[in-house]
Chain A
Amino acid sequence: MNWLTRVRNSLSAVVKRETPDNLWLKCPACAQMIFKKEYEENLSVCPTCGHHGRIGPKARFAQIFDEGRHSVLPSPKAPDDPLKFRDTKRYADRIKAARTATGAQDALINAQGKIAGQGAVVGVQDFAFMGGSMGAGVGAAFIAGARAAIAAKCPYVIFTASGGARMQEGIISLMQLPRTTVAIAELRDAGLPYIVVLTDPTTGGVTASYAMLGDIQIAEPGALIGFAGQRVIQQTIRETLPEGFQRAEYLLAHGMLDMVVNRAELPETLGKTINYLMTGQRKAA
């Protein structure tokens, strides 16, 4: 029916314990206390149960590019609050607060670097920025990322994390579905790979557009991936949802993904995938 921007769920995946120095974290999946340092060294994956915590663009770029080296691409400007939207708060204030909290222009950041020695543009959606919701700013960043990849004749890899469309932009957010799809068409016309890595959570309008159109569809373990919200589905069908519903492994079993890959193995998997998909480009060069 409609997707939900689950802003209310935008708590960080790992809850900090009330200690003065925040040295310990509690895994939301297994409730195990973990040393913060150990957790971060383990790529924000729980060493006990393997739960993949949510990470933002900065950590992702550091993990995915060779030696962590990359250059962040400029964020394109988009109109702030085009509809002068106000719910219990003004959208203008919400976006300002998100910018202050994250230091980013909007919920999608691109960077360029190398993966296993091969050039790539990588876009990372930040769930900490208004639930990774997609408005014109995210649409513009997606197009900029795709076009940077075309200019560099390299693949565009997108790490998705989103509650869906940004309702505060009304129809403009809905129009980002076709708008971002045009950018994918441009990549296809250029013969360049478009690779999607779905991370927790990816739902709503983002799944109904660029998150499901990859040449290769990869997901991190346990990631929530779906179009409709579970509450909405439950209200419609009035039954309990099956075990593991809308999780990465469930989608894999239903044929919706190529693979589910542990965070630690992502650079190698991406490197190999890019190597295969760039075969035609290498021949043409």
Chain B
Amino acid sequence: MPTYLDFERPLEELDTRIADLRGTNAAGVPDLSAEVSRLEAKANKLLADLYANLTPWQKTQVARHPERPHFRDYVARMCSDFTPLAGDRAFADDAAIIGGFATIDGHKIMLIGHEKGHDTASRLKHNFGMAKPEGYRKAIRLMELADRYGLPVVTLVDTSGAFPGVQAEERGQAEAIARSIEACLNLRVPLVAAIVGEGGSGGAIALATGNVVLMFEHAVYSVISPEGCASILWRAADKAPDAAEAMKVTAADLDRLGFIDVLVPEPLGGAHRNADVAIDSLKKVIVERLGILVRQTSDQLKTARRAKYLAMTGD
């Protein structure tokens, strides 16, 4: 059974009852199958209702769900080849951002993204997807490499934000992010960015300044975490739901406001309930958009990307 979020408790109870009844059934009691079917129908309807009406704060929970697909899952399902390339050539290899050559539906690309990890050991290894300057500098290096050799860049964004630490600051966290944004803007190859989980502020836009920005239905994208915003503006961390609402962090809001280009639907109950279906829909959009962008000239790509961000006036 999946990890249930707080707002999914009624669903968890139903699913538990269904599992219990199935156990009884297996033990040889025959007339329970009708009851199981009835409960299953009820559970499906509940799931559909819950996910059709998620609040921005609930979506934030879904976007952070521990079983949500992560970078390695996308690579495994989307790419016929992935050749990781490591290091920033100055300090270290930061596992919070992974990048490398990838082949997706025949397109040879540079794939770069955050990796949060999926269990305790890998979460520590990838620092929960919170990159340090060397992570952004690796991304810059790979983007510039892609630019030199004509490889389109695809980024998968999933981070709560850049890592807040003493050494990260000493090595120029802000400068690394600023240069990464600049590198995105300078590319003469297509840049397709996908916000697949959390799009956490500067740590996200560093990889997301794209020609086309895709966003999963239940992903969130914001200038600061709802908790951070609440603690500063409301001076109360428990106002995070209000902050999530006020900041317009959801894909539906950002689509309506024109800050993303494509809202990619997720399977019923979120990407973590059916990762393959979710990844396949994302892949379809990525491939479609790459197909359009690769026909543009390098000048067109760079000019259009700059014009896109110049136009982000809030009007």
Contact = CB atoms under 8 A, between A and B. Distances in A.
Interface residues of A, number: 66
A165 B223 contact: yes
B136 to A, nearest CB: 10
Contact of B169 (A213, A226, A255): A226
Interface string B219-255: 0011111001100111100010011001111000010
Given A2-B201, A171-B259, A208-B178, 16 more contacts: A1-B200, A1-B225, A6-B232, A85-B247, A87-B246, A172-B312, A178-B184, A178-B185, A179-B309, A185-B185, A185-B306, A209-B177, A227-B174, A228-B164, A233-B164, A236-B163
Interface in A125-151: 135-136, 139-140, 143
A78 B201 contact: no
Contacts of A168: 233
Given A170-B222, A174-B201, A179-B309, A83 B165 contact: no
Given A79-B315, A177-B202, A208-B174, A1 B161 contact: yes
Contacts of A242: 166
Interface residues of B, number: 59
B32 interface: no
The prevalent SS among residues of B at the interface is helix
Contacts of B209: 178, 181
Nearest to B236: A88
A185 B183 CA distance: 10
Contacts, number: 200
The 3 closest A-B pairs by CB, nearest first: A228-B164, A207-B174, A227-B174
Nearest to B130: A1
A245 B171 CA distance: 12
Contacts of B314: 78-79, 82, 135-136, 169, 172
Nearest to B312: A175
A254 B222 CA distance: 30
Contact of A213 (B178, B200, B206): B178
24 contacts: A1-B164, A1-B203, A1-B225, A2-B161, A3-B201, A5-B232, A7-B232, A83-B246, A139-B313, A167-B223, A170-B223, A170-B248, A171-B254, A172-B314, A177-B177, A177-B205, A178-B184, A178-B205, A178-B309, A179-B310, A211-B178, A212-B179, A228-B162, A228-B164
A270 B248 CA distance: 42
A280 to B, nearest CB: 20
